[in-house]
Structures are given as structure tokens and as C-alpha cells.
Structure 1
């Protein structure tokens, strides 16, 4: 089925608006790159100052061409761009790439010009990439609609191609997008498309991602983003990629932020600038990498291997020390390096000298290269059900010696039984790269990145898209009566949650000393008392909490003390009274919360709770809603997860009840996103299995 951007990425005709004869300048390089890469379609230079350019007729305006144009590439001064686009629309041009800079990135009137471009795209239906874009490259269709030197063609140089699978590159930075391409080409990774999104007046990274996901020639996607503007299209593409099991490797920059979120709750203040992005990436199984070389290594391994069935790795080497280093590296990533069975060891020992070792790592020694032991060991391990992946560690610096024979290695790798990854601890020669490329091998030279790539391969193989969530579990209730102010006190927050269907302990808000006897009779001893004010978020910091009260005398003294402390520390605060409630049974302290992200909407968070929440920051976020199964997976990913699972002889905690609470809170946040900005339950005490959870404290923040 055709995609709306087919005519963008594979245009039958291109008009170059602002074309030049000067190949040293960007307009001239655009024409030069198209012709060097043997673009097969029609090229129409447009510039009123020339009659012809490089043997091509040159036109005074787009309207003078008089032929259908699929793509206009525009490189003229910013002030002239809008008029040129109007002429393109009038001439029926389907798509445009604006290379010109000087728009939203400058602010002021320049930003208004970009707004006008976006309005033109909406009005005419012409699809526009940029402005401030570096263009794109369609490798298969030979469309080099860019001035990037990365796509330059050097006479007599045969490109290195090791993979049959191709990677597609979408970048919001043209320089980084074509840097990915440049490095991929050096490794021998085949590429389908590279596109730089520029300022995204119309076409954004989400829509380009969607194209790569549906494109049959693209098997792995590299994504470099600063922020997503076309959120809905991005999320549709992300879901489609997950459903198709097409890997997306993403680098998100702008993580350091120039400040913290202004937030009332720990949930939001700890989120940082990229928590919601990471939550979305995790939901859809994106592979996150914050390093350019690491991202390319992951792409190389994915493009040249099948997915593994498990996490057991065999390390085969010609150097004992390098083999141990390789084994350490994958083990540090949490992968297993199991000792091989006696039967397999006996078979491998026959292929190496007596001073080699077959246990794993397998050291066939330098002699194993010439004797064929290296190849035969890979053969044995590829057929063995004792390991799921093979890491070959060797020296590939020679300009003349082949460590493998193509006719023997190719059938083993082509069978695609399991991943076989090749790492050279010396700088690999061009000869070695090209010889191994004939068998489909990408030679890698960063061991840490190799370890990460093998870990990510295992994780991606296990990933499955969360099931759709039943949002009807909680009854639909009108909560507006509870949202009288932006920040609610604990008592008001708990009233809202009870109305919404969340189970909480029975507590009494006491406004006057005369109400204490009735409150005690209802709650019973032992009990806790807490000052209540929408202006005091952290009650313990003002001496606003008393616990383990066991007599009526203590109750009356505590009531007076709590009011006095609040008035002394926060004289301006509105005091509602004192909340009297039962002391909860012991349990593991967990924080459960939601926050509103301005890009992706409500997020649910869970982490290690109590007063150390911000100290350890052991938290995980996901887009809402999540079901109990997905909530359980969130809990399992915490560093503190062992605390819930019978840690050091403690009773196993009621993880099922906690997971259901997380799911319910997430459903509430999903439904009430227009009204509620943040919810925080901290701590939630998780009791022994079968005994449920207790929400000790709660905070709800309404939308401002």
C-alpha cells in the first residue's frame, strides 16, 4: 500500500530552487550530489540568473518548468522562501525541502515566517520538510537531496557493504543524522534512508519514523531526537514498530536541562527532563543509547544477526587474555557465560592445541586460525543448544591473512541460528573488513559497546507490547467537588481518591478539640495524628505528625501541640484541623504517583518510598494507563525490587495488591488528565502477601 511520503523519498522529478554553478557553495553542491549519486529522475534547476547549469536548462521560476514536480529543494534567502513555496503550490509541487535557515531558530519575525510556512502546508496539502534542514538521502533510489559531504562519491572507491538488512536514520540534527550514515558506511552497514527533520514546520520526526516503520527496505531504525512535536504520529509509529518487532534505536539529547521541574510532589520533581520520553521508549520497546558509536554498534549487530533465544554467550578467541576480557564484558552486562558440557568440550578440544581451553571462554590460540580450529569451533557452537549467542574475539589487523574462509563461514552465518558477533582487539584492516563483509560480518572494535549491544539484543528479543488496558475497572465519578483549590491537603486528597474508588483507611478530620472523643472511638488505638493544610505539603518538617498514640491523654496533648507547631512554623497557612487515623501495620515503603508531562500527557511512577525517596531516586515511569501486569514489570525493574520478594528472610510482600493499586491510580490519571496534574501516595505500605497495602499519605494537585 503506498505511503503519502513515497513521492517525497522517491521523487520522479526534482526542482532545485536557488541552484548555482558554484560547487563550493551549498546550492551548487546540492546539484553536484544529485548527479554524482546518479539520481535517475529529472532535475530542473531554478534560478533567473542562469540560462543553464552544468548542461541542464535553468528556469526563471518553478512555474516556467511546465512539467510535474514531485520535490522542490529550496536554498534561497529566508525572506524569499514563502513566496517560492506559494509558487510551488500553484505549480502543483507535491513536496518541498527547505534547506534555508533563519526561521524559528532566530525567534521574532523569523519565527512568524515559519508559522506562515506551516499554515501554507495545511492550506495547500503540500508536504514540507524544514526549514533549516540538511535534506535527505534515499540510498536505494539514489536520491541525494542534501549538501552533506557524507554522501559524496569518490571515483574508484568501492563502498563496503556487509549487511543485507538496511537501517533507516531519522534525525532532528542534520549533522548527526549524516554522521550516523558516515559511520554506518565505514562499518559496512547498508542504509535505506537518512533524513534530517530541521525545524519541522510541517513534516516531523514522528511522520518520518512512521515512513521508516512501514518501509519494507528498512529493517532497523536509528532515531536522534531533541523533542517530539508531532506526538500523535510519533506514538502511532512507535506502536506499529513494536507490533512489527522492528527495532528502533533512539538517542534523546537535552537530558541535562537548565533547571528542575516546578512541582508540588516528589513524583514530578524527580522526573527530570526526559523521564516521560524514557517511559514512552520503554513502553514501545525502543533501544535507548546515549552514545553515537554505541548506537551504531547496536545497529550493526541487529542488521547482521537474528535475535537470540536466551542470554547464554559463548566467547571464542585466539588470545586467552582477550577472551577473558570479552567474557567479563558480557557478564558485566548480566549475560551468562556458562561452562560448556563435557561432550561439547571434547569436540572442541580436538580442534586446538593441548594448551588451548574449551570451557568458555574458548581459547583456540593463535594456532587455531591456521589449523581451522577457530572456524570449526564456531560451527560447533552455532549448532549447540547450550548457548544462544557467540562472541568471536580476535585480531584483524592483517592486510593479507584471512582468519576465516568465506565458503565455510558464509553458510554458518546465513543459516541465522543465533547471533555471531565479531570483535577485533587490534585496529581492523580494510582488507579484513572487506573479506569478512563477503560473509555478512560487520567487524566491531569497541568491546564495551559490543557488550551493551549483545545485552540490548537479548532485551529486545524478550520485549512484548503491553496489552490494551481495561479503563472501566474504576467507576466514573464526578471529582470536581473535591478540586476546590490547585493543591489539596492530605484529607481532601484522600476524600477525592475514595470517591474515585481507591481503598483507604478510615480516618477522621478533627477541627475542634470537642470532636476528639468521637474520633478516637471510631478509629481506635494505636493511632496517628497529622496536621492538615493545603499549604503544608511536608508535615513532618513543621512538627506536624504524631504516631503510636495509645491513650486519650496523649490524643488531647498531641492535638494542641500539632496546632501550635503549625502556627509557629507556618503562620500564613490555612489550617483545616488534625487528621486522626489508625496506625498501619508494618510494610515495605513504596511511592506511587502520577504527573502530567507537557509532551506525552499523564505518567505513572513507582519507586522506593518514604523519606528516602528523593535520596535514592529509585523510580520508574510509564505512560498511563498500565494494567496490573505492566505495573508488576515496573516493580520488577526497580533496584529495590528484592525488598518486595522476601529479602533476607522477610515475608514476601503483597506485590499483586501493589500492582493493582498502581494500575488503578494510572487509570484515574488517564481519565482525569484534564483536571488532575499530580497524584502522590507516599508512603504506601506493602504488607505480607495476602494482606494488601495501606496508603499512609496522599497528595493531589489539580490542573492550574
Structure 2
């Protein structure tokens, strides 16, 4: 089925508005790059100052050729761009790339010009990339609509191509996008497309991601983002990638704390700039990388290998020390390096000298290269069900000697039984890269990156898109009347949650000490008492909590003390009274909450709770709503997960009840996204299996 951007990435005709004869300047380089890369369509240079450019007729305006034009590439002063786009729309041009800078990145009137471009795209239906873009390169169709030197073609240089699978690159930085391409080409990774999104007046990273996801020539996607603007399109594309099991490797920049959220709850205050992005990436199985070489190494491993069936790695080497180093590296990533069975060891020992070792790591020694032991060991391990992936560690510095024979290695790797990753501890020669590329091998030279890439491969292989949330769990209620102020007291917060269908202990708000007898009779001993005020978020900090109260005398004394402490520490606070409730049974303290992200909306969070919440910051976020299955996966990913699963002989906690609470709170936040900014339940006490959970404290913050 055709995609709306097919004519963008594979245009039959291109107009260069602002074309130039000077190949040293960007307008001239655009034409040069198209021709050097052997673009097969028709090129129309547009510039009223020339009659012809490099043998091509040059036109005064975009309407003069009188032909259908799929793509206009615009490189003229910013002030003239809008007029040129109007002429493009009038001439029926389908797509445009604006290379010109000087728009929203400058602010003021320049930002208004960009707004006008966006409005024009909406009005005319012409699709526009940029402004301030570096263009794109469609390698399959040979469309180099960019001035980037990365796509320059050097005479007589044969490209290195090791993979049949291609990667697509979407970058919100032209420099980084084409840097990915440049490094991918050096490794021999085939590329389908690289596109820089510029200022995204119209076409954004989400829509370009969608194109790569549906494109049959793209099998791995590299994504470099600063922030997502077309959120809905991005999320649709992300889900589609997860459903198709098409890997997306993402780098999100802007993670350093250039600012902090002002938040009433721990839930929101602990969320760094990128918490919501990481939550979305995790939900859809994106592979997160914060390093350019690591991202390319991961892409290389994915583009040249099948996914593994498990996490057991065999390390094969010609150097004992290098092999141990390789084994240490993958083990530090949490992968297993199992000792091989005596039967497999016996088979491998026949392929190496007596001073080699077959246990794992397998050292066939330098002699194993010339004797064929290296190749035969890989053959044995590929066929063995004792390992799921193979790391080959060797030296590939030679300019003349080949460690493998192409006719022996190619069938083993082409069968794609399991990943076989090649790492050279010496600088690999061009000869070695090209010879191994014939068998589909990408030679890698960063061991830590290799270890991380193999870990990511195992994780991605086991990823499963979570089931959708149950939208019918909570009954729709109008909660606006209960949002009396921006920040609710615990009593008001719990009242709202009860109205929404969340189960809470039976508690009584006491405004006058004459009401204490009735409250005690209703609640029973032992009980807890807490000061209530929308102005006091953390009650323990003002001496506003009393627990394990067992007599009426203590009740009356506690009531007076709580009021006195509140007046002393927060003299201006509005005091509603004292909340009297039953002491909860013992349980594991967990925090459950929601916060609102400016880009992706409400997020649900779970983590280790109580007073140590901000100390350990062991928390996981996901976009709402989540199913109980996804909530369970969130809990399993916590460092504190063993505490819930019977740590050191303790009873297993009621994870099922906790997962249901997380799902319910996420559904509440999703349904009332326009009214509720934050929810925090801290602590939630998780009791033994089958005994449920108790919400001890709650805070709800309304949208201001």
C-alpha cells in the first residue's frame, strides 16, 4: 500500500530553488550531490540569475518548467522562503525541503515566518520538511537531497557493504543524522534512508518514523531526538514498530538537569526531564542508547544477526587473555557464559592444540586460525543447543591473511541459527573488513559496546508488547466537585479516590474533640491520627502523625498535640482537622502515583515507598493507562522486586493486588487527564499473598 511520503523519499522530479554554479557553496553542492549519487529523475534548477547550470536549463520560477514536480529543495534567504512555497503550491509541487535557516531557532519575527509555513502546509496539503534542515538521502533510490559531505562519492572507491538488512535513520540534528550514516558506511552497514527533520514546521520525527516502520527496505531504525512534536503520530508509529517486531534504537538528548519540575508529589519531583520519554521507549520496546558508537554497534549486530533464543554466550578466541576479557564483558552485562558439556568440549578439543581450552571461553590459540579450528569451533557452537549466541574475539590487523574462508563461513552465517558477533582487539584492516563483509560480517572494535549490544539483543528478543488496559474497570464519575483546590489534603484526596472506585480503609475526619469518641468507636484500636491540611503535604515533617494509639487517653492527647504542632510549624496553614483511621497490618512499603508530562501527558509510577522513596529513587514510569500485565512488568523491573517475591524466606507479597491498584490508578489518571495533575499513594502497604494492599496516605493535585 502506498505511503503519503513515497513521493518525498522517491521523487521522480526535483526542483532546486536557489541553485548555484558554485560547488563550494551549499546551493551548488546540492546539485553536485544529486548528480554524483546518480539520481535518475529529472532536475529543475530554479534561479533567475542563470540561464543554465552545469548543462541543465535553469528556470526563473518554479512554475516555468510546466511539469509535475514531486520535490522542491529550497535554499534561499529566509525572508523569500514563504513566497517561494506559495509559488510551489500554485505549481502543484507535492513536497518541499527547506534547507534555509533563520526561523523559529531565532525567535521573534523569524518564528512567525515558521508559523506561516506550517499554516501553508495545512492549507495546501503540500508536505514540508524543515526549515533549517540538512535534507535527506534515499540510498536505495539514490536521492541525495542534502549538502552533507557524508554522501559525497569518491571516484574509484568501492563502498564497504556487509549487511543485506538496511537501517533507516531519523534525526532531529542534521549533523548527527549524517554522522550515523557516515559511521554506518564505514562499518559496512547498509542504509535505506537518512533524514534530518530540521525545525519540523510540518513533517516531524513521528511521521518520518512511521515511514521507516512501514518501509520494507528498512529493517532496523536509528532515532536521534531532542523532543517529539507530532506526539500522536510518533506513538502510532512506535506501537506499529513493536507489533511488527522492527527494532528502534533511540538516543534522546537533553537529559541533563537544565531545569526541575515544581511538583507537590514525590511522584513528579523524582521524574527527570526524560522520565516520560524513557517510559514511552520502555512501553514500546525501543532500545535506548546514549552513545553514538554504541548505537551503531547495536544496529550492526541487529542488521547482521537473528535474535537469540536466550542469554547464554560462547566466547571463541585466538588469544586467551582477550577471550577472558570478552567473557568478562558479556558477563558484566548480565549474560551467562556457561561451561560447555564434556561432549561438546571433547568435540572442540580435537580442533585445537593441547594447550588450548574448550571450557568457555574457548581458546583455539593462534594455531587454530591456520588449522581451521577457529571455523570448526564456530560450526560446532552454531549447531549446539547449549549456547544462544557466539562472540568471536580475534585479531584482524593483517592486510593479507584471512582467518576464515568465505566458502566455509558464509553458509554458517547465512543459516541465521543464532547471533555470531565478531570483535577485533587490534585495529581491523580494510582488507579484513572487506573479506569478512563478503560473508555478511560487520567487524566491531569496541568491546564494551559489543557487550552492551549483545545484552540489548537478548532484551529485545524477549520483549512483548503489553496487553491493552481494561477501560471498563472504573466507573466514569464527575470528580470535578471534589477538586476543591489545586492541592487536596489527604482526607479530601481519599474522598476523591473512593468516589472513583479505589478501595481505601474506613477513616473519620475529626474537626472537634467532641467527635473523637464516635470516631474511636467506628475505627477501633489500634489506630493512627494525622493532621489534615491542603497546605501540609508531608505531615511527618511537622509532627503531624501519631501511630499505634491503643487507649482513649492517648487519643485525646494526640489530638491536641497534632493541632499544636501544625499551628507551630505552619501558622498560616488551613487546618481541616485530624484524620482517625485503623493501623494497617505490616507490609512492604511501595509508592504508586501519577504525574503529567508536557509532551506525553499522564504517567503512572511505582517504586520502593515510605520515607526512603527519594533516597533510593527505585522507580519505574509508564504512560497511562496500563494493564495489570504491564503493571506486573513494571514491578518486576524494580531493583526492589525481590522484596515482593519472598526475599530471604519472607512470605510472598500480594503482587496481583498491587498490580491491579497500579492499573486502576493509571486508568483514573487517563480518564481525568484534564482535571488531575498528580496522584501519590505513599506508602501503599503490600501484605502477604492473597491479603491485598492498604493505601496509608494519599495526595491528589488538580490542574491549575
Q: Considering the TM-score relative to the shorter chain, is it more than 0.5?
A: yes
1:468 is displaced (CA, Å) by 1.5
1:477 is displaced (CA, Å) by 1.6
Aligned to 2:241, what secondary structure does the other structure show? helix
Aligned to 1:548, what secondary structure does the other structure show? strand
Distance across 2 between alignment mates of 1:435 and 1:16: 40
Please list, as runs of the form range in 1=range in 2, the aligned pairs for 1:483-522 lying within 5 A after superposition. 483-522=483-522
1:480 is displaced (CA, Å) by 1.7
1:43 is displaced (CA, Å) by 0.5
Q: What TM-score do you get using the length of structure 1 for normalisation?
A: 1.00
Query: Partner of 1:532 in structure 2?
Result: 532
Q: Structure 1 residues 647-656 or 340-349, which shifts more? A: 647-656
1:205 is displaced (CA, Å) by 0.2
Distance across 1 between alignment mates of 2:682 and 2:87: 60
Q: Cα deviations across residues 387-416 of structure 1 (Å, max 9, x unaligned)?
A: 110000000000000000000000000000
Please list, as runs of the form range in 1=range in 2, the aligned pairs for 1:572-651 lying within 5 A after superposition. 572-651=572-651
Distance across 1 between alignment mates of 2:493 and 2:598: 23
Q: Cα deviations across residues 602-656 of structure 1 (Å, max 9, x unaligned)?
A: 1100000001101110000001111111111100100111111111222211111
Q: Cα deviations across residues 322-344 of structure 1 (Å, max 9, x unaligned)?
A: 10111111111111111111110
Distance across 2 between alignment mates of 1:478 and 1:62: 56
Aligned to 1:485, what secondary structure does the other structure show? coil
Distance across 2 between alignment mates of 1:676 and 1:536: 19
1:674 is displaced (CA, Å) by 1.1
Query: Partner of 2:141 in structure 1?
Result: 141
Q: Structure 1 residues 438-447 or 682-691, which shifts more? A: 682-691
Query: Partner of 1:80 in structure 2?
Result: 80
Distance across 2 between alignment mates of 1:259 and 1:233: 27
Query: Partner of 1:683 in structure 2?
Result: 683
1:257 is displaced (CA, Å) by 3.2
Distance across 1 between alignment mates of 2:656 and 2:129: 48
1:484 is displaced (CA, Å) by 1.2
Aligned to 1:492, what secondary structure does the other structure show? helix
- Report whether the alignment pairs 1:259 with 2:279: no
1:473 is displaced (CA, Å) by 1.0
Aligned to 1:240, what secondary structure does the other structure show? helix
Query: Partner of 1:125 in structure 2?
Result: 125
Please list, as runs of the form range in 1=range in 2, the aligned pairs for 1:420-499 lying within 5 A after superposition. 420-499=420-499
Contact 2:469 2:628 in 1 (8 A): no
Q: Cα deviations across residues 347-369 of structure 1 (Å, max 9, x unaligned)?
A: 00000000000010000000000
Distance across 1 between alignment mates of 2:521 and 2:241: 59
Q: Cα deviations across residues 415-445 of structure 1 (Å, max 9, x unaligned)?
A: 0000000000000000000000000000000
1:317 is displaced (CA, Å) by 0.3
Contact 2:15 2:43 in 1 (8 A): yes
Q: Cα deviations across residues 18-56 of structure 1 (Å, max 9, x unaligned)?
A: 000111100000000000000000011101001111111
Aligned to 1:599, what secondary structure does the other structure show? coil
Structure 1 segments (4+ residues) deviating >3 Å: none
- How many residue pairs align between the two structures? 704
Distance across 2 between alignment mates of 1:67 and 1:176: 35
Aligned to 1:562, what secondary structure does the other structure show? helix
Aligned to 1:64, what secondary structure does the other structure show? coil
Aligned to 2:63, what secondary structure does the other structure show? helix
Distance across 2 between alignment mates of 1:612 and 1:109: 49
Contact 2:469 2:663 in 1 (8 A): no
Distance across 2 between alignment mates of 1:324 and 1:626: 43
Distance across 2 between alignment mates of 1:252 and 1:259: 16
Distance across 2 between alignment mates of 1:170 and 1:333: 28
1:689 is displaced (CA, Å) by 1.0
Q: Structure 1 residues 650-659 or 375-384, which shifts more? A: 650-659
1:597 is displaced (CA, Å) by 0.9
1:107 is displaced (CA, Å) by 0.2
Distance across 1 between alignment mates of 2:241 and 2:631: 22
Aligned to 2:323, what secondary structure does the other structure show? helix
Query: Partner of 1:571 in structure 2?
Result: 571
List alignment gaps of at least 5 residues for structure 2.
none
1:475 is displaced (CA, Å) by 1.5
RMSD: 0.6
Q: What TM-score do you get using the length of structure 2 for normalisation?
A: 1.00
Aligned to 2:495, what secondary structure does the other structure show? helix
Distance across 2 between alignment mates of 1:98 and 1:626: 40
Distance across 1 between alignment mates of 2:689 and 2:125: 59
Query: Partner of 1:326 in structure 2?
Result: 326
Q: Cα deviations across residues 503-537 of structure 1 (Å, max 9, x unaligned)?
A: 11110000001000100111111111000000000
Distance across 1 between alignment mates of 2:625 and 2:117: 36
